[in-house]
Chain A
Amino acid sequence: MLSSTALIWGVALILLPLSGALLTFLFRAVATPIGICVALAINLCTVRLAWLISTQEVPRYPLGGWGAPLGIDLYVDGLSMTLLIMSAVVGLAISCYAPSYFRSARHKLIYFWPLWLFLWTALNALFLSADIFNLYVTLELLSLAAVALAALAGSADALTGAMRYLLVSLLGSLCYLLGVALLYHAYATVDIALLAERVVASPITSAAFGLMMAGLLLKTALFPLHFWLPPAHASAAAPVSALLSALVVKASYYLLLRLWLEVFGNVNVGIDVILGVFGAAAVLWGSLQALRQSRLKLLIAYSTVAQLGYLFVVFPLAAVNANAWQGALYLALSHAFAKAAMFLAAGNMLLFCGHDRIIDLDRVVQRLPLSLSAFALAGVSIIGLPPSGGFIGKWLLLEVAVAHALWGWAVVIVVGGILAAAYVFRVVGHAFTPAKNTHEVHAVPAVMEWVALVLATSSILLGLSAAQTLMLFEVGDPFRILSGEAPS
């Protein structure tokens, strides 16, 4: 069986970070070399898997040889492969950045490595799992690792932020689990493919749908359920903020999208517009809040709230034309690169100036040119200027909105871009001018600057490789259900 051997690489994607986490926990003295080797190996496996699934048929892999109804299947298609690549690239960047960031606090680095590799394990397992109960377990593993990482900074803000994040995550997971219980009762399976065949519109399906959606929306921080995100993301250490904003929120969004597309295709009538309205509110509210912030990391965290809004504006657009899903995936991918780059650049400025008050950024452009370039380039992608990845994503959405005369959504997408430009230029402007209060400055290691710049550049390059990226999205045709319903 050629097709199932491809997913040996998928199994490696789960086992590598898991064993890496255990090894870095046991051998603390050499944690950094082990961690970086594991990150490199994960990237190699991801490339190999992407190559195999784009040239062969899409595989399912029964773990331990047990079949679908009883055993646990792994599955990969264009949607999950894209997110696996996203975590591999951002993960490698963060693995290179973190040792330098924590160089004056080695005890934090000792906790960082195992927790981060556990988080990576959970992410990869989440993207590869094909049954909703296994997805619950990975979702919990992900939030426990993420909360522990968020608390790593140790300040009072970080601890209360992490505590709130934990309570919200657990609430979200329990809602999701109750939905799983109802679905299992009604359809006697937790396998996504089998559920997709068996599911019918009924009160119990609607109840399960509502519970699972509510739980996942809470975890994805859709406005007005975003209240926990800015404190948790802004008060964490810079590499942790980057991976929370870039990767962790995308995981629950992926799960939501997967369930929406495969399982609840026939019960979600009318919900798409509600999600779209909340998404639009998130874009506007998040951007306005970002403009009001006086601290750089909070500005970036509110920008995440706004950018997550776009991922929900997609739902009403995709109801008329399934091409909008590709726009959403494109936005999610470029947001991951750009937002990670922004948080890492902000971490450099924080380290350099000793604070992250925006108005006191004293001529950062002359002293940290690479970090500020990284911030500005990432900003280009967040705003959605050509030729960035963010531009392609927004373009795909605008194309659908304009073609079907959905002007309201088009206006939201454009206004969100303008507001994003306003908050990005606010930071860049203060970085060019001398501040009233000057501070003692601290040197920033070159590797930290370069990592941020490489990530920001890759979010721009993503726009130049649109053809290949869109081809990858289509592997296994993950958006097929709604495309069948699309009116001409």
Chain B
Amino acid sequence: MSSTFFFALAGIGLFVLGLYGLIIYAHLLRKILAINIMGSGVFLVLAGLAHRLPDGTADPISHAMIITGIVVAVAATALALVLMLQVQHTTGQAVLPEKQKY
């Protein structure tokens, strides 16, 4: 119970930390990293809570979900990085405009 709960809480902590970073930092690379930290938090919750079968083994379905989630996260990060480079290339800086001009 205690280790399960500890991992889940750490996961929630990472999620909140990532959310804070996503909101606070302007630079797109930091925002993308923050999203990745949030994702790791969710995966840690899944991994921590997987350890709950009566015979003490971990639940393989949670692990399958984590692996699928990681694949999705890699694809999303790749797209985000390419898009960030394009934004930098076109506008000269890797930040989102504070106020849209319309």
Which residues from chain A sit less than 8 Å from chain B, CB to CB?
A: 70, 133, 136-137, 140, 144, 147-148, 151, 154-156, 159-160, 162-164, 166-167, 170-171, 174, 177-178, 180-182, 184-185, 230-231, 234, 293-295, 298
Contact = CB atoms under 8 A, between A and B. Distances in A.
Contacts, number: 90
Contact of A166 (B62, B72, B83): B83
B42 A177 contact: yes
Contacts of B15: 174, 178
A167 B87 contact: no
Contacts of B49: 181, 184-185
A181 B42 contact: yes
Contacts of B90: 154-156, 159
A329 to B, nearest CB: 29
A148 B75 CA distance: 12
B65 A178 contact: no
Contact of B65 (A133, A156, A293): A133
A154 B97 CA distance: 16
Contacts of A295: 102
B91 A156 contact: yes
B45 A163 contact: no
A429 to B, nearest CB: 21
A144 B75 CA distance: 8
Main secondary structure of the interface of B (DSSP, over half): helix
Contacts of B32: 167
B32 to A, nearest CB: 8
Given A171-B35, A293-B102, A147 B83 contact: yes
Contacts of A298: 102
Contact of B42 (A137, A160, A178): A178
A140 B39 CA distance: 13
A170 B76 contact: yes
Contacts of B75: 140, 144
B102 A167 contact: no
15 contacts: A70-B61, A144-B79, A155-B90, A156-B87, A160-B87, A163-B87, A166-B76, A166-B80, A167-B31, A178-B45, A181-B45, A182-B45, A184-B65, A230-B102, A294-B102
A137 B72 contact: yes
Interface in B47-66: 49, 52, 61-62, 65
Nearest to A168: B22
Q: What bracket does the count of chain B residues touching chain A fall in?
A: 35 or more
B83 A159 contact: yes
B83 A163 contact: yes
Nearest to B68: A137
Interface string B1-39: 000000000000001000100100000100110010011
B91 A160 contact: yes
Given A137-B72, A167-B32, A178-B42, 15 more contacts: A70-B61, A144-B75, A144-B79, A155-B90, A156-B90, A164-B96, A170-B80, A174-B38, A174-B39, A177-B42, A181-B46, A184-B61, A184-B62, A230-B100, A230-B102
Nearest to B28: A163
A125 B69 CA distance: 17
Most chain A CB within 10 A, of B28, B35, B69, is at B69
A140 B70 CA distance: 12
B91 A159 contact: yes
A237 to B, nearest CB: 16
Contact of A144 (B19, B61, B76, B102): B76
A171 B16 CA distance: 12
Contacts of A154: 90
A184 B50 CA distance: 9
A262 B13 CA distance: 30
Give the most central of A137, A170, A293: most B CB within 10 Å. Answer: A170
Contacts of A159: 83, 86-87, 90-91
- Ranked nearest first, the 4 interchain pairs of A and B with the lowest CB-CB distance are A185-B49, A181-B46, A156-B90, A140-B72
Contacts of B41: 178
Given A159-B90, A159-B91, A185 B35 contact: no
Q: Which of A137, A156, A185, A295 has the largest count of B CB atoms less than 10 A from its CB?
A: A185
Contact of A160 (B35, B61, B80, B97): B97
B76 A167 contact: no
Contacts of A294: 102
Contacts of B100: 230-231
A174 B87 CA distance: 24
Contacts of B84: 163
A53 B99 CA distance: 49
Given A70-B61, A178-B15, A295-B102, A167 B79 contact: no
A167 B22 contact: yes
Listed residue (A144, A155, A298) with the most chain B CB atoms within 10 angstroms of its CB: A144
